[in-house]
Structure formats: C-alpha cells, structure tokens
Structure 1
Amino acid sequence: MLLGLCSRHYGAWLPGWVAVYAGDTLWALLVYWLLGLGWPSCPAKWRAVVAISFSFFIEVSQLYHPAWLEAARNTTLGSLVLGHGFLWSDLVCYTVGVLLGYVADQGLATKQLKPITQR
C-alpha cells in the first residue's frame, strides 16, 4: 500500500508510465495479498479470481454516480478504495497486479525450503 501511495505522491520523480500505472497495479496486488492473509487455506486460483472480480467490480462501479457513493468517494479512504473515474487501462493494471501476486504465490509454493540445521 505504501508503494502505491508513494507512486502517486512522488510521481513527478518517476518515469511517466510508472507514475500512471503503478498505483492501480499495486492496489490489485494488495487485494490479492489481503485475501491470502484472510483466507490462507484457499487455493491461489480462487484468491486470484476473487481479487480480479473485486477489482473489476470497483472499476465498473465508477460508472455509477449516485450522491451517496460520490460522498464516499470524496473521503480519503473512499477515494483510495473506490477511485473516481472508469479507465480501461485500470482493468489491465488490475490484471497485471493480480497475476504478479499469483505468480509469486506459485513460486513460493513450489520452492522447497530447507530446514536450518544445527552444527
């Protein structure tokens, strides 16, 4: 979450594409990791499907503008979670973020950790 916030705050010092796309990519990665923390026994594929579905739902909800939802979006937390405007590129970023989490999960799951032995 901190990296995503930094990518927005310090965007002027980052390459343009990083400043534009890193926050949304990291946001979806955060959703995937939070699902892993909340439900560690669920399969990684399930967490990926739920994370991408949730992320896409939030993005599509940005096409809906009732007063109560706009009021929520105008708070700091609401802005961070709900966003403000629909962008197709955000859907790509969310997909990349969840895939990064899934691939990392698979790499950690297949890597055999050797126990530390005493000498």
Structure 2
Amino acid sequence: MKKKIIYIITTIIIIILGLLSREIKGIPLFMGDIFWAMMVFFILAFIFFNKNSSFIFILSIIITYIIEITQLYHRPWIDNFRKTSIGHILLGQGFLWSDLAAYLAGIIIGYFIKKFIDNKMEESYS
C-alpha cells in the first residue's frame, strides 16, 4: 500500500513539474511531453500495481503513441475538445514525430524512477 501512495505522490509531483514546464520561459516544450508520458506511466503503475515494470512500460508506450496518432484524426467535436484546457492536456493539438521520442524518453525515465522506488521499498522491508 505504501508503494501505491508513493506512486500517487510521484504522479502529483510530475503533473506539477509538467505544468510548470509550460509556464517557465526557457524550458523546451518537449519537456512537457516527457512529463506527460511519465505521468501516464505512473498512473498505470498505480492502476496495475501487481504487474511488472515491463508490462507498464509497454502499455505506456501503446497508450501514448495511440493518443499521438489520434491527433491525425480531425472532426469538429474532437478538435473543439482539444481546444479546451483538459482536452489539450489529454489529447494534444497536432501530430509530431518528435512527440513520440519525448514520450519514449519520459517512459524510460519513469521506468527507472519506478525501479528506484521499488528497490528502496524492498530495502526498507528487509
């Protein structure tokens, strides 16, 4: 149960950092994409608590890549949703190949952060 709480706290910290990355001048825009993918990774780590990190890694890639690819789909209803704050955060605005690389980087970072958390939790139980 402690691990799930740490995953939630980590997710909240990542969300804050991701939002701040959009507000602070000089931080490259791709940092927001990295944080977004890390957030997806940790939400999945929380949901699929009993699954191994590799499963969460692969599922995170599938979900983030599908969301990016759906940005190629344009209809008024979904484009209007994308113009809202929540729609922009969840679905993005337009397809970019570079976003796929940023998502992969964020998921890799999330994977190693999770491994670090898991190892520290195991050490504390030893």
Select the structure of larger CA radius of gyration. Answer: 1
Matched, 1:96 2:105: yes
Aligned to 1:47: 56
Aligned to 2:19: 5
Q: Distance in 2 between matches of 1:6 and 1:107?
A: 24
1:63-102 per-residue CA deviation (whole Å, 9 max, x = no partner) reads 1101111121111101111000111110000000001111
Query: Between the two proteins, what is the percent identity of the paired residues?
Result: 32
Number of equivalent positions: 111
Amino acid at match of 2:123: L
Matched, 1:34 2:48: no
Q: Secondary structure at the match of 2:29?
A: helix
Q: Distance in 2 between matches of 1:108 and 1:74?
A: 36
Structure 2 gap ranges (5+): 1-14
TM-score by length of 2: 0.80
Task: After TM superposition, give the deviation of residue 114 of structure 1 in Å.
Answer: 4.0
Structure 1 gap ranges (5+): none
Match of 1:80 among 83, 89, 94: 89
Matched, 1:23 2:32: yes
Q: Secondary structure at the match of 1:19?
A: coil
- The structure whose residues are more often helix, as a share, is 2
Aligned to 1:57: 66
Structure 1 residue runs of 4+, over 4 Å off? none
TM-score by length of 1: 0.85
Q: Distance in 2 between matches of 1:41 and 1:114?
A: 19
